[in-house]
Structure 1
Amino acid sequence: MMAEKIDTRAVGLDVGLAFIRWLTGAENLHYGLWTGLEVSAGNLRSAQDAYTVKLFGYLPAGPLRILDIGGGAGETAKKLLALGHSVEIVVPSAFLAERCRRNAPGAVVHECMLEDFAGTGPYDLCLFSESFQYIPLAESLPKCARLLAPGGTVLIADCFRTEAYQGRQKHGPQPGGGHGLARFRTTLEGSPFAVLAEEDITDAVAPSIDLEQQLFNVIGHGVTRVSDEIRDKRPTAHWTLARFIGMFLSKTRRANLMRRLTGTDRNAEAFRRFNRYMIFKLGPKA
């Protein structure tokens, strides 16, 4: 009998959400909006709340029937429900689907990818809050066009790659991600949607990357400090531990992990160079 494969993604999400919940009291997975705030762990909840206020400022007049695509752990849906909207969530992760059911019990949760979603709506709003980048451009807007009621709106808040980004092979792992912004604009021209409003909030969200890296550096300091102590006081044990870790992680993966834990090249400056964090409000073309 084959052993069941460990779901490392679910484990990582569980640990990450537990930490965020401990730190902020909520399970928000999105960036913070840091305008006027000191970049510190203590201000993360305020920054994430400011992001939500910014996002909700683009909602059409309600109440709305909303399809929250890639709804994270359900925190955004919970706030939308509290405003009187009707919310359905599409999320492909079984773990996150369960968190959505717990955090937003008034929402209907569909555990699937948008590409496989069989609902027909119609919806007044398709919402992508840091989920648009995970859906092929050939699928996302055409699917929304079929799901929306006449006059319906698409609201996107996400990272888009700038033309400065030439791929992982050239630049190595870089913060951010998403579709190329120029390619998105070209795709939009051939879609049934027009831009009703857009805003570039890159500078306001970029400090989130610095805060994230600071956390990894704290963990890296602890790992390095313990490793050095064992190596100096128990060299045989250190050698054995290194061999054991090598059974699960290749030399390249170990190097990448330590670079993530101790490096400083993943920062707000790099994020600004390779990304634009955009909010797009789309409606039907005239």
Structure 2
Amino acid sequence: MGSGRIDTRAVGLEAGCALARWLTGKEHMHYGLWAGLEPVAANLGAAQEAYSRRLFALFPEGRLRILDIGGGAGETAKRLIAMGHQVEIVVPSAFLASRCRENAPGAVVHQAIFEEARVTGPFDLCLFSESFQYIQLRDSLPKARALLAPGGAIVIGDVFRRDGGPWLGNPKRVVGGGHVLSVFRKAVEAEGLVIEAEDEVTDEVAPSIDLEQAFFNVLGVGLSGMDRELRAHRPWLRGLAVGVVGRLMGERRRASLVARLTATDRTAEAFRASNHYLLMRLRPAAV
């Protein structure tokens, strides 16, 4: 039997896909590049398209066999298939696996974490688009390298922690994340890989943080207003609701959600101070 607790991650993924589809008509779940664009919801689709174009510019030439690691809802795979590539997707969530099969029916979908995924390759390209940070370096780089065909490449688009940045004081609370950049670079060298191309887009990505937090704050205002009215006029109902939510979510997750809805410190500037956002292509070093 289950624990009886709400799976907030699954709920969040489903809500995120629905929101993205409502705003943009697509289920992209990555940040955008905002150069020349006002960071408002109406421009989210254009910013995400700019991100995809910059990421795809790092791909090797020709028709490729691609492993999309952490492929979100399958929107990237759908576009890659339309470009003539063969695509396999690795995604851990049952919900996202179902969205991948719906959005990219031409792709082979593996529902598993990358460390355990039974994929054989070889692949011309292993792609990590905002999934690299969630996998231990001891697992991600060796397995991706082993899956490459001769001449193949690894392309990464993700956030990395700055060496010595302000995030060190409270890493779980400071916006951003990922591997510490210097640690990543040492792991790349130890694995016999070289960074063949690197594009820092931190400033262009950062406005995504302000847009994302503005959305959560809007939700927070609505829920705070409801809480105020219940506290004033139906305190017994409020107490019941708080108790039920606390039981279903757990007190720690409930407190975390409240903090997320009311945060004022998750800003583009805070993101820049603690993180790098990098697009890069890696290949095995020449012997």
Same fold (TM over 0.5): yes
Structure 1 segment 168-183 matched on structure 2, within 5 A: 170=170, 172-183=172-183
Q: CA deviation at 1:177?
A: 1.1
Judge conservation of contact 1:165–1:171 (CA < 8 Å) in 2. Answer: no
AA aligned to 1:154 is I
1:65: which partner in 2?
65
1:256: which partner in 2?
256
2:205: which partner in 1?
205
| Identity among equivalent pairs (%) | 56
Question: Normalising by the residue count of structure 2, what TM-score does the alignment of the two structures yield?
Answer: 0.92
Judge conservation of contact 1:33–1:47 (CA < 8 Å) in 2. Answer: yes
Q: Which moved more, 1:77-86 or 1:159-168?
A: 159-168
AA aligned to 2:214 is Q
AA aligned to 2:37 is L
Q: CA deviation at 1:239?
A: 4.2
2:31: which partner in 1?
31
Q: Which moved more, 1:140-149 or 1:243-252?
A: 243-252
Structure 1 segment 103-142 matched on structure 2, within 5 A: 103-142=103-142
1:49: which partner in 2?
49
Q: CA deviation at 1:236?
A: 4.2
Distance 1:198 1:111 in 2: 30
Judge conservation of contact 2:167–2:174 (CA < 8 Å) in 1. Answer: no
Distance 1:102 1:237 in 2: 41
1:157-178 deviation digits (Å, cap 9, x = unpaired): 0011112357677355122211
Going from structure 1 to structure 2, the CA distance change for 1:250 and 1:108 (only over 3 Å counts) comes to closer
1:281: which partner in 2?
281
Distance 1:111 1:205 in 2: 29
Distance 1:228 1:15 in 2: 25
Distance 2:45 2:178 in 1: 24
Going from structure 1 to structure 2, the CA distance change for 1:40 and 1:167 (only over 3 Å counts) comes to closer
Secondary structure in 2 matching 1:31: coil
1:21: which partner in 2?
21
Distance 1:126 1:46 in 2: 25
Q: Which runs of 5+ in 2 are unaligned?
A: none
AA aligned to 2:147 is L
Judge conservation of contact 2:5–2:247 (CA < 8 Å) in 1. Answer: no
Secondary structure in 2 matching 1:281: strand
